[in-house]
Amino acid sequence: MESLDDEGVVLRVGEVAARHGDDPHRLVQILRDVQAALHHVPAAALDGLAQRLGLARVQVEGVATFYSHLSATARGHYHFLFSDGYTDRMLGREALVEQLCAALGVERGVPSADGRVTIEDTACTGLCDQGPAGLVNGRPLSGLGPMRIETIAGLVKLGVPVDEWPQELFDVADNIHRRDLLLAGPIQSGDGVRAVLERGAEATLAEVERAGLRGRGGAGFPTARKWGFCRQAEADERVVACNADEGEPGTFKDRVLLHTQPDLVFEGMTVCARVIGARRGLVYLRGEYAFLREPLEAVLAERRRQGLLGKAILGAEGFDFDIEIHLGAGAYICGEESAMIESLEGHRGTPRIRPPFPVVSGYLGLPTVVDNVESFAAAGAIAAHGGDWFCACGTAESTGTKLLSVAGDCARPGIYEFPFGVTVAEVLEACGGSGARAVQVGGPSGTCIGQTEFSRRIAFEDLATGGAFTVFGPGRDMVEVALHHSRFFAHESCGFCTPCRVGTSVLAQGLERIARGGAGRADLEPLKQLSGVMRSMSHCGLGMTAANPFMQTLERFPEDYEERLAGDDVMPAFDLDAALAEARALSGRDDAHAHLEQRHG
Amino acid sequence: MADGTITIDGQTVPFTEGQTIMQAAEAAGVYIAHLCHHPEFRPHGSCKLCTVKAGGRHVAACTAPASDGLEVENESEELAAGRRALLQLLFVEGNHYCPFCERSGNCQLQALAYRYGMVEPHFPHFYPQREVDASHPDVVLERNRCILCALCVRASRDVDGKHVFDIVGRGIHARLAVNSASGRLADTDLAPGDRALEVCPVGAIIVRGRGFAVPIGERLYDHRPINEIGNRVPESEQ
């Protein structure tokens, strides 16, 4: 491995920073490049960047230590991140990680002795329909199985560079099983932009309103209203930002949209730019989707050639707009729009105080529309086809269609575009998941329901969702599901506010105790109360919904909890025997009376 | 949003344009529990102790704007229970040993715990391993007691113009770091007289030689509750 002394590191990061114009607002992008070049962000890099960018060292350290894809210690030239989504677990990912660790003689999370290989776990990488999945040096690995792991181990042992591995290892399928408005009839590139020029900005905004389009990220805010606010905000410059930080475990429809319909997404962003009067467009692409960057850049370049981006778009004087792609660096919280803006500005992904909302003060304080990938795709199609075309589909309150990312215990996982209003049972029927015990709609932050509720509808007025639809078959243990997702939220909490920072960890610990049979019925009360405090007092949606997996599974699958609870009483929070083991060994004493009856292992 | 009035637990409180609920309350002498808020610094909104119910919604009083006619609930049973839980979370997250803390009796965290009747930690202690930085000749940084309110961060950056402190790490691993390659306070440009030394609501930043200038038992909150005298760092400690 290349090893640089501190001076060498400072020189190297200086080159990286120079490529980014020494712009402190590009710090996250710069740190990503430093990580890629040096396999970590060494201490000397913090000093070098601080000096170069005019920031305090501790400020750079704050950013570098916030994102999971950045590390203070060196990662291997072969850096594996195995997706630890629950669906990956259901498909047996644990055994595969063990297999690769054993084959390469590497301990999980610890660099190999020669520093060549690191194998780590990471949150769901958005390949749930083709798991177990992972990333090697940022490139996607899907459909992993014992054979593939053997192949990969062989390639690593032979020292074959990742770029020279067989392409089929990196194939990512789209798995589209149902197409409707957006996926069935893609528009010709330029149709939306031409339409907005013909119709005019105001009339286009009216079409989006007539369409009834609501935010596809899950929150469902009326898109036309958002665009209207931004358009009215007083400013010389406005920004269009596309939220492609698809981090909700179980969601992958934005990956498929960006792979199959990038033009439609960019079309929507350009339409928005015309409506609100923005010159600058940003896409915040989740770090796990870095492999999409090159193809997306190619599409952007083509659009510039076609006069659909750049100066005087389609010859319209003053219609200047271009789009730049920023990459995330491993932080679920950056899917929250104000945290995403912070990250785009080169900061830690801490959600902002609101008000002001991004439409008034967003990227660099400029009025900013932040919309989901799917929202922009829909807006692009609406511009071309009109609002009536769109709202003819769906329900009165939830018009149009929704792309569902279906994964878990079903025969045909993948993308299903359904009109809003479709029932959970209908989706299960379509994907071959009938007989399911539970479905998690909208990921762990969404709603987890059991069979009695399968007649409920996917719609903002019933089951709102960003798109995840995760199926749990008969025999799945819902306490394990809740525990897994509680750990996820604890890992992803930004650490800013008390209820989320501490609450998510307390909750995860509590669920660990329950799962291993170390809790009594009375232990549930503090956790329920804590869940309520997290919901009402947290700073942002992460903390507010982090207790959902626990509360919802407790309510709907109490039997899973019941069989693990040790009795009515509170159980000790710690394992007395384990706590006393060292003292007993040292003193050579083990009093028969100094034991509790505990089920702790 | 023009001037107007809000009510806090039924009491009418005037506000001027642009004020938060907290600012309006402070001007009217109504106490809303808080730790990370300080009237001299930009609102932060991280400790969430000041959560009130305004117009039926939970909001942080230190960041939520006052608006005419807004009905604010501050000292309800429900909010008291929530605040107690937040205090318990802060206690179990760090290592807070009041009996031998220099700040005992002057500590805002301790005073609020008394105020909200916190008699036990309720949640399992984390017992984290945290670094104590005694490298500086004038100041000790006792991270075991840090509650990540970022008041020292703001004071150093916005008033002292030094950026000695900042929060690094994520989630439960977030911690207060200092601006030096060694990570030691002695290697920063922190100096006596810095505003950053006068704002810590707990015993995380201790100025040497002053810890016991006033005996325990005669301190700020030993005789009067925090809701009567407010969040203060006594001069003897600065």
Both tokens of A308, joined, read 């659909």
- What is the CATH architecture of B4-75? Roll (3.10)
Mean pLDDT check: name the lowest of A363-367, B2-6, B37-41, B186-190.
Answer: B2-6
Interchain pair A62, B167: CB under 8 A? yes
Beta bridge partners of A458: A463
- The span from the CA of A361 to the CA of A396, in Å, is 32
- The span from the CA of A393 to the CA of A306, in Å, is 32
By Cβ distance, the residue of A59, A499, A539 closest to B89 is A499
- The span from the CA of B71 to the CA of B8, in Å, is 6
By Cβ distance, the residue of B65, B148, B180 closest to A355 is B65
Interchain pair A509, B124: CB under 8 A? yes
By Cβ distance, the residue of A492, A498, A506 closest to B47 is A498
Interchain pair B46, A537: CB under 8 A? no
pTM over 0.80: yes
- The span from the CA of A181 to the CA of A196, in Å, is 19
Stretch (H or E) spanning A592? none
Interchain pair B45, A353: CB under 8 A? yes
Beta bridge partners of A282: A241, A324
Q: Could you tell me which of A456, A430, A431 has the C-alpha nearest to residue A441? A: A456
- What is the CATH architecture of B82-221+232-237? 2-Layer Sandwich (3.30)
- The span from the CA of A100 to the CA of A130, in Å, is 19
- The span from the CA of A510 to the CA of A394, in Å, is 41
| Residue B42 near chain A (CB below 8 Å) | no
- The span from the CA of A305 to the CA of A317, in Å, is 17
Within 8 A by CB and 6+ apart from A594, the residues are A576, A580
User: How distant is the Cα of B52 from the closest Cα of chain A, in angstroms?
Assistant: 9
**A560 touches A351 (CB < 8 A):** no
Residues from chain A contacting residue B167 (CB–CB below 8 Å): 62, 348, 495
ipTM value for the complex: 0.97
Sorted by where each starts, the structural domains of chain A and their CATH numbers stand as 6-64 (no CATH), 78-173 (3.40.30.10), 177-387 (3.40.50.11540), 401-472 (3.10.20.600), 478-562 (1.20.1440.230)
pLDDT at res. A594:
82
Matching CATH topology for B4-75 and B82-221+232-237?
A: no
- Written as one letter, the residue type at A142 is S
Interchain pair A529, B90: CB under 8 A? no
**Residue matched to tokens 């005789």:** B223
| Every domain of chain B and the residues it spans | 4-75, 82-221+232-237
Beta bridge partners of A522: none
* Residue environment code for A199-227, b if the CB has 16+ CB neighbours within 10 A, otherwise e: bebeebbbbbbbbbbbbbbbebeebbebb
- The span from the CA of B144 to the CA of B147, in Å, is 9
From the first residue on, what is the mean pLDDT of each consecutive set of 10 residues in chain A (601 residues)?
82 97 98 97 97 98 98 96 97 97 96 94 96 96 97 97 96 97 87 96 98 94 98 96 97 98 97 98 98 98 98 97 98 98 98 96 98 98 96 97 98 98 98 97 97 98 96 97 98 98 98 93 94 98 98 98 86 81 91 72 39
Both tokens of B209, joined, read 């030689």
Pairing of strands B57-60, B71-73: unpaired
% of chain B with per-residue pLDDT over 90: 94
**pLDDT above 60 (res B1):** no
- Written as one letter, the residue type at A331 is A
Across the A:B interface, residue pairs with CB atoms under 8 Å apart total 123
- The span from the CA of B195 to the CA of A486, in Å, is 39
Question: What is the end-to-end Cα distance of chain B in Å, rounded?
Answer: 39
| Residue B62 near chain A (CB below 8 Å) | no
Both tokens of A114, joined, read 């020669």
Q: To probe the interface with B, which of A46, A354, A488, A501 has the most B CB atoms within 10 Å?
A: A501
Query: Per-residue pLDDT tens for B121-151?
Result: 999 999 999 999 999 999 999 999 999 999 9
**A448 touches A552 (CB < 8 A):** yes
Residues from chain B contacting residue A59 (CB–CB below 8 Å): 163, 166
pLDDT at res. A1:
45
Residues from chain A contacting residue B148 (CB–CB below 8 Å): 495, 501
Residues from chain A contacting residue B179 (CB–CB below 8 Å): 56-58
User: How distant is the Cα of A119 from the closest Cα of chain B, in angstroms?
Assistant: 21
Both tokens of A89, joined, read 């677990």
Residues from chain A contacting residue B60 (CB–CB below 8 Å): 539
